Amino acid sequence: MAYVVTEDGTEIFYRDLGTGKPVVLIHGWPLSGDSWDKQTNFLAEHGLRVIAYDRRGFGRSGQPWSGYDYDTLASDLNKLLEELALTEVTLVGFSMGGGEVVRYLSRYGSARVSKAVLVSAVTPYLLKTSDNPDGVDPKVFEEIEENLRKDRPAFLNEFGPKFYGRSVVHHTVSEPVLEWTQSMALTGSLRSTLQTAKSWSSTDFREEMKSITIPVLVIHGTSDNTVPIDASGRRSVKILPNAALTEYDGEPHGLFLTAADRLNEELLQFVGGPREPISTPVLS
């Protein structure tokens, strides 16, 4: 298995698949890089080099006590890009991962990055405050923390269906997918799950987003009840100087699965990969 070691000695696990233009996929909370399976496979099959890594505290990466703020997480991403000597990268951040994309670009610039995609991202600022009246009530995040501390497996079990917009009537994903999601989420430690929740729920990206001038594609589902589009996607595209918004009508938060085919095609088009699948194996 492949790892990079961060500035504080934390091992970050990554998968590096295919050849061609590099795409780095940054997963959401509280999952791991495996959540991108449909995207990594599709994009690599279509002639792109795809790197998906596990955020510190989750998946196969190390689980340190500290370092779950966005400055450190962006530093981890920077270490990965430097270690693999990547240039002309397209960064793709889902949910919490969108914050890493923004913080990386605002701190390290775009010398290595040509484009970015924010999918169901938490940007620009989720928390409701006096100067952010359209944000999410702090009580929502307080309840998340309380329930995680009380019974994390039970909380995650209830979180999964909401994440994918699954109900008795709308089977957007299967029961095995929910079990798979639960198993991914439980690879994280309680500490990392709590601390990263504080980061994505309370970090204000509004000012730094104004400095990001590379092309940014914002993708968001109109039925996202986890990160509501009005508080996130529709606001992000107004702040970013060079952004476009694609709204997925009726799609929930976890659209990387519920709308995987559409997302895959849109990512391929945005990155600029070959339109037809390549005929040779892509694993490297």
Active site residues: 95, 224, 253
Cα separation, 271 vs 47, whole angstroms = 11
Query: Which is nearest to 220 in space by CA: 202, 236, 233, 230?
Result: 233
> Which residues contact residue 33 at a Cβ distance below 8 angstroms, ignoring those fewer than 6 apart?
13, 14, 15, 25, 27, 52, 53, 54, 59
Q: Give the total residue count for the chain.
A: 284
Q: Judge whether 270 and 217 are in contact, CB under 8 Å.
A: yes
> Which residues contact residue 25 at a Cβ distance below 8 angstroms, ignoring those fewer than 6 apart?
33, 36, 39, 40, 50, 51, 52, 53, 92, 94, 97
What burial class does residue 25 get, using C-beta atoms within 10 Å of its C-beta: 0-12 exposed, 13-18 middle, 19+ buried?
buried
Q: In whole angstroms, what separates CA 270 from the centre of its chain?
A: 17
Q: Is the peptide bond before 124 cis (omega within 30 degrees of 0)?
A: yes
Q: Judge whether 254 and 166 are in contact, CB under 8 Å.
A: no
